[in-house]
Amino acid sequence: MRPLIPLIIILLLLTGCASPPESTAPLVNLSDLQPLPASSAGEVVPLRVAVAAVISPKGTAESYQPLLDYLSDKLDRPVELVQRRTYAEVNDLIESGFVDVAFVCTSAYVDGREKFGMELLAAPQVNGEAVYYSLLIVPKDSAAQSMADLRDKVFAFTDPMSNTGKLYPTYLVQQLGSAPDQFFARTFFTYSHDDAIRAVADGLADGAAVDSLVYDFAVARDPSLAERVRIIHRSPPFGIPPVVVGPGIRPQLKAELQSVLLNMDDDAEGRKGLEAIGAERFVLIDDSAYASVRDLVSAVGPVSP
Amino acid sequence: MKPQFLQGGFSRFWSVAGAVSVRTKILGIVLGLVALMGLGVTMQVRATLTRTMDAQLAEQAISVTRDLAARSTDLILVNDLYALHQLLQETQANNADVRYAFIVDRRGQVIAHTFGGGFPAGLLEANTVLPDEHHRTTILKTDEGSVWDTAVPIFGGRAGMARVGLSEMGVRQLVNTVTGQLLLTTVFVSVIGITAAAFLTWILTRPILDLAKAAQAVGRGNFAPRVPRWADDEIGDLSDSFNAMTRALAKAAEERAEREQLRARYVSGVIAAQEEERKRIARELHDSASQSVTSLMVGMKALSDACESPVLRQRADELRGVAAHTLDEIHSLALQLRPSVLDDLGLPAALERYVADCRGRFHLRIDLAIRGLGETRLPPELETALYRIVQESLTNVARHAEAATASVLIERRDGAVRAIVEDDGRGFDPGTAGKTEQRLGLYGIRERAELLGGKLTIESEPGRGASLFVEIPLKESL
């Protein structure tokens, strides 16, 4: 009888140990499906700002947050960041008026201007200029010296509508008397410039063409990238990706937005927002700045179907 | 209080467990041990397994949810709801335990989920996580059992949160399967154990049962049975010892019977010789001494008649009186020793005469009744024995009982002769029976009765008189 008692105690202890971490009371019926409440139309309509996927969505969200906060503060209105995978999707949102203001890619502006009268609001100024370049990059240890050396290699495009990432390299291939489909062994889209840099740095692609602004920004954030890639070609300058509005915007809002952007470098919070996206200030820009891009588009062919 | 309760419980247990056979006890022990071990191991394995599996489930919940949160970040930011939906479907398809997965945007609205059609009421509110938390797991009670609901913030909460529910059902089923298998094994081992124990107990108890049977036979006085030595163990040694004991007992019984026979023969010889001697002395006294005294008396009478001196005549008459008294005493003595009337006229006459003599000598009221004897004479040794028994009994009554009346009954019936002697004296306890002298008297009576195949029964209580009952079968003595 006696030796049984400790045995029973041990057994009780063993069974008593296994207790769940947490527990709550009400029972949820998983098979009783109810329709989800329709997304409540906010009492205050936020200012919707679209940012084209020049860099990855996460990177975009992080770097544009201070600027959006600044806008929200100045306009006294909530600001919502809208991102889409492709430039075309963003252009559709601008056309439909779902977003009020957008940071788009140069070629997307050219396309949108032509299709539905997208309007320029301002442009960032970097290194005292409102221009940027397309950089042809290869892995550090690659022997390639020009686009001609990348024949039958793997090439990473950024977005089908991207000026620096798709139009310009296509133009270069055409200059060599070929087309990307035949020239390269294989191509793929990364949908953002920083992913394209990473694809080359990791050896996933033998070459890529990227936005010089994004490249500088990415290298500034992660200097190790510069050690893994090499620039073999720099394009002539193109008009910098602008800030645009749709044709249906209220003139008052347009003027208000323009004023806030242009005066951003006048206060500390604004400068913080500018710094986060790698710009010195916003300046007014004329449509003529994008003439070279238009030439490129007409040379290569339409960027959107 | 508690030890008493325990003791009571144990004695109740023992009153049941102690009453069953050794075979059942051994079977019970084996079954109990196997069942205890089996149940103990099963319980422990079940507990350990449950704990391990629960920990694994918790870990899995966290890793699946964090993975989902990481992979859904960009999809949420670019509002790629279709890809998000695909991602959730994949997450569910690749993890059998995932019951549901859904994504909540930072405004708290479900933007993608794995439930088709609608969304369970109350599920959204059941768990939440703060943007700076790693994760938060809670166990939800649902209609499909417990679900480990884990919430992980996406992109530091800026893109909302991912929620994944892992069903416990798979884990519980596994635990139950393992438990069932263990219990089945326990039952299987129990069956083997019972079979083995049954065989073992059969081997163990067979010699014990043989021993018990043999011991019962020995108890009844039959020393013939021997138990076989089944095995070279303690029970085998016990069997050998038992057989040796039985042999020794048989020998001792034989010797005792022999001695008993010798003693009986000796005693009956002594009694016969004593009777013969008494008879001879009595006859001698009667024939020779009483003849002489009678002659002496006749001589005294003649002397008295011839004497002229009155003094001398008186003297002669006195002497003749002395001689007459002596003759009476001689007669009385002869009667005591061996009444010739017993030989000449039989038991009834001898007893009547003896009882009459006793009445006079002991001043005691004695009733004598003799039934069923008629004219037939009993065998002489039986008559002598009955006479001596009555004689000894009445002597005892006179000496020890302080009785006023006594009764003697001799009865022949159903092939036996009974002698009953009763008195109304102070009685005694037959077990511890009085003085040595009295015990010796009773022993003599018993001895005489048993020599003739009869038996003596004494009924008495202090203060209640005594009755002595002797029965002697006639067949043997005829």
Contact B137 A21 (CB under 8 A): yes
What is the pLDDT averaged over residues B223-234? 83
Report the residue from A7, A37, A83 with minimal CB separation from B78.
Answer: A83
Reported as half-sphere exposure (CB side, CA atoms, 13 A), residue B288 has a value of: 6
CA distances from B392 to A239, B141, B332, B442, B463 (A): 160, 104, 17, 8, 21
Which strands make up the sheet holding B416-423, listed edge to edge? B365-371, B405-413, B416-423, B466-473, B455-460
C-alpha–C-alpha distance, residues A300 and A170, integer Å = 7
Domain termination site, one of B147, B179, B211? B179
State whether ipTM is beyond 0.85: no
Residues of A within 8 A of B59 (CB-CB) are none
With beta carbons less than 8 A apart as the criterion, state whether B69 and B164 touch. Answer: no
Q: Are residues A67 and A196 in the same domain?
A: no
Which DSSP string corresponds to B269-285? HHHHHHHHHHHHHHHHI
Q: Are residues A207 and A248 in the same domain?
A: no
| Per-residue pLDDT, A18 | 40
> What are the tens digits of pLDDT across the range B390-416?
988 888 888 888 888 999 999 988 888
Contact A33 B40 (CB under 8 A): no
Write the CATH number for A163: 3.40.190.10
Residue A254 DSSP SS3: helix
Write the CATH number for B376: 3.30.565.10
Q: Are residues A71 and A161 in the same domain?
A: no
| Residues near A267 by beta carbon (within 8 Å), at least 6 away in sequence | none
| Per-residue pLDDT, A39 | 59
* pLDDT of A108 above 60: yes
Q: Are residues A126 and A248 in the same domain?
A: yes
Is residue B241, in this structure, part of any structural domain at all?
no
Structural domain count of chain B: 2
Distance from CA of A56 to the nearest CA of B (A): 8
Is residue A41, in this structure, part of any structural domain at all?
no
Sign for the pseudo-dihedral over CA of B269, B273, B279, B280: positive
The one-letter amino acid at A159: D
Domain termination site, one of B179, B212, B237? B179
How does strand A154-157 pair with strand A207-211?
A: parallel
Is residue B447, in this structure, part of any structural domain at all?
yes
Q: Are residues A111 and A251 in the same domain?
A: yes
Is residue B190, in this structure, part of any structural domain at all?
no
Residues of A within 8 A of B54 (CB-CB) are 18, 20
Tokens of A142: 């690659």
| Residues near A269 by beta carbon (within 8 Å), at least 6 away in sequence | A66, A69, A70, A73
Q: Are residues A263 and A294 in the same domain?
A: yes
Containing domain of residue A121, as a range? Answer: 47-130+240-300
Q: Are residues A141 and A231 in the same domain?
A: yes
> What are the tens digits of pLDDT across the range B54-108?
899 889 999 999 999 999 988 888 888 888 999 999 999 998 889 999 999 888 8
Structural domain count of chain A: 2
Residues of A within 8 A of B140 (CB-CB) are 24, 28
Domain termination site, one of B179, B209, B226? B179
Domain termination site, one of A204, A235, A266? A235
With beta carbons less than 8 A apart as the criterion, state whether B238 and B211 touch. Answer: yes
Q: Are residues A245 and A282 in the same domain?
A: yes
Residue A22 pLDDT level (bands cut at 50, 70, 90): low
Is residue A164, in this structure, part of any structural domain at all?
yes
> What are the tens digits of pLDDT across the range B174-227?
899 999 999 998 889 889 888 988 888 888 788 888 888 888 988 888 888 888
* pLDDT of B117 above 70: yes
Q: Are residues A170 and A87 in the same domain?
A: no
Q: Which of B36-45, B173-182, B273-282, B469-478 has the lowest mean pLDDT?
A: B469-478
Residues of B within 8 A of A60 (CB-CB) are 77
Is residue B48, in this structure, part of any structural domain at all?
yes
**What's the predicted TM-score (pTM) here?**
0.58
Write the CATH number for B139: 3.30.450.20
How does strand A27-28 pair with strand B136-142?
A: parallel
C-alpha–C-alpha distance, residues A74 and A77, integer Å = 8
Distance from CA of A51 to the nearest CA of B (A): 10
Contact A34 B121 (CB under 8 A): yes
Longest dimension (CA), chain A: 101
Residue B185 DSSP SS3: helix
Containing domain of residue B94, as a range? Answer: 19-179
Q: Are residues A150 and A272 in the same domain?
A: no
Q: What is the mean pLDDT of chain B?
A: 86
